[in-house]
Amino acid sequence: MSENTRIKTLAAATASAWDAFVIVVGMLKGGTGKTTSAWFIALYYAVVLELPTLLLDADATSQSAYDWFKVAQAEGFEIPANLVVERYPFDDIAEYIREKRSEFGAIVVDAGGGSSRIFHEAVTEANRLIVPVAPTKIERRKLVATFDEAERAAARNERDVTAHVVLVKADDRTSLPRTAKDKLLEPAEGEGIGPERDEPFPLAETVIHSWVHYMEAFGEVPTELSEYAELMKELTA
Ligand SMILES: Nc1ncnc2c1ncn2[C@@H]1O[C@H](COP(=O)(O)OP(=O)(O)OP(=O)(O)O)[C@@H](O)[C@H]1O
Ligand SMILES: [Mg+2]
Domain range annotation of the chain: 18-236
For residue range 4-40, what is the model confidence (pLDDT) as tens digits? 666 666 666 656 699 999 999 999 999 999 999 999 9
Q: How far apart are the first and last CA of the chain?
A: 44
| Cα dihedral: 207, 211, 133, 85 (round 10) | -100
Half-sphere exposure of 65 (CA within 13 A, CB side): 35
Q: Give the distance from CA 15 to its chain's centroid.
A: 27
Homologous superfamily (CATH) for 18-236 = P-loop containing nucleotide triphosphate hydrolases (3.40.50.300)
Distant-in-sequence, close-in-space partners of 223: CB < 8 Å, separation ≥ 6: 47
Per-residue model confidence (pLDDT) at position 13:
61
Pocket residue to mutate for ligand 1, from 24, 35, 220, most atoms within 8 A of Cβ: 35
Per-residue buried b or exposed e for 148-165, using 16+ beta carbons within 10 Å of the residue's own CB: ebbeebbeebeeebebbb
Global pTM?
Answer: 0.94
Q: pLDDT digit of tens for each residue in the chain (237 aa)?
A: 566 666 666 666 656 699 999 999 999 999 999 999 999 999 999 999 999 999 999 999 999 999 999 999 999 999 999 999 999 999 999 999 999 999 999 999 999 999 999 999 999 999 999 999 999 988 988 999 999 999 999 999 999 999 999 999 999 999 999 999 999 999 999 899 998 899 999 999 999 999 999 999 999 999 999 999 999 999 999
- What is the 195 CA–ligand 1 centroid distance (Å)? 31
Q: For ligand 1, which residues put their CB under 6 angstroms from it?
A: 30-36, 59, 62, 64, 112-113, 168-169, 208, 210-211, 214-215
Instruction: Return the closest-CA partner of residue 122 out of 38, 237, 191.
Output: 38
